[in-house]
Amino acid sequence: AQTVTQSQPEMSVQEAETVTLSCTYDTSESNYYLFWYKQPPSRQMILVIRQEAYKQQNATENRFSVNFQKAAKSFSLKISDSQLGDTAMYFCAFMTPQGGSEKLVFGKGTKLTVNP
Amino acid sequence: NAGVMQNPRHLVRRRGQEARLRCSPMKGHSHVYWYRQLPEEGLKFMVYLQKENIIDESGMPKERFSAEFPKEGPSILRIQQVVRGDSAAYFCASSPTVYLDTQYFGPGTRLTVL
């Protein structure tokens, strides 16, 4: 069974600093995607970044980047120049085609607080 | 292009009543997923539907829960005879294709069972 583990229930960072959120996953599949979603207090799920497993290059989206270590099954999210609006729950998620169904498997989340 | 729409945003039911949650996918998307988020938890997959077909319902409780995605109209998640343990946020997501494509989420419906 695929599992996603986020070992940091809560983290905090000062505004303008950099923070890294950890995620590990377990799968025997070779073809899959990884995602980070953000859930602010509004509870809307917002896609932050995605990574295709076949790509060696780490994905980046403005201030957000990932460190994808396929052999170690690790997928961490780095947020640079943290802003107050980055305060949210962050969920790591995994997707692989299984029998025609591509459900997302989520970790339990990391609550990030950006302090002024 | 409007995003995924869900209604109602908040729903209060008494134990034993029925809850109907609606989801309209993004324009051009024909694949709908339902997830449930219990308090302090991540999202858990419930069911995956295409138009008029249930593809994967492996995450659905065996009793009281059902889902449909008719040819016309929104996808419906129906919970019969609700119990307090059904209180949660229910999210719908849609994607344009099935093969390893990004799922875009609606704002969710928060169900409270009194």
Question: Looking at per-residue confidence, does A44 or A100 come out higher?
Answer: A44
Cis previous bond, B61, omega within 30: no
CA distance A83 to B37: 26
> B44 vs A106: CB contact, 8 Å cut-off?
yes
Confidence of residue B64 (pLDDT cuts 50, 70, 90): very high
Q: pLDDT (tens digit, 9 = 90+) per residue, B13-61?
A: 999 999 999 999 999 888 999 999 998 888 999 999 998 899 999 999 9
User: Testing the interface with B: which of A23, A43, A45, A92 to mutate, by most B Cβ within 10 A?
Assistant: A45
Q: pLDDT (tens digit, 9 = 90+) per residue, A40-94?
A: 988 889 999 999 998 889 999 999 999 999 999 999 999 999 999 999 999 999 9
Confidence of residue A11 (pLDDT cuts 50, 70, 90): very high
By residue range, what is the domain housing residue A46?
3-115
CA distance B106 to B93: 6
The total of structural domains in chain A comes to 1
The CATH number covering residue A95 comes to: 2.60.40.10
Question: Looking at per-residue confidence, does A95 or A102 come out higher?
Answer: A95
Percent of chain B with pLDDT over 90: 78
> A104 vs B43: CB contact, 8 Å cut-off?
yes
On whether any CB of chain B is under 8 Å from the CB of A99, the answer is: yes
Q: Are B81 and B113 in contact (CB under 8 A)?
A: no
CA distance B72 to B25: 12
On whether any CB of chain A is under 8 Å from the CB of B1, the answer is: no
Distance from CA of B109 to the nearest CA of A (A): 10
| Per-residue pLDDT, B84 | 95
Q: pLDDT (tens digit, 9 = 90+) per residue, B82-101?
A: 999 999 999 999 998 766 67
Confidence of residue A99 (pLDDT cuts 50, 70, 90): low
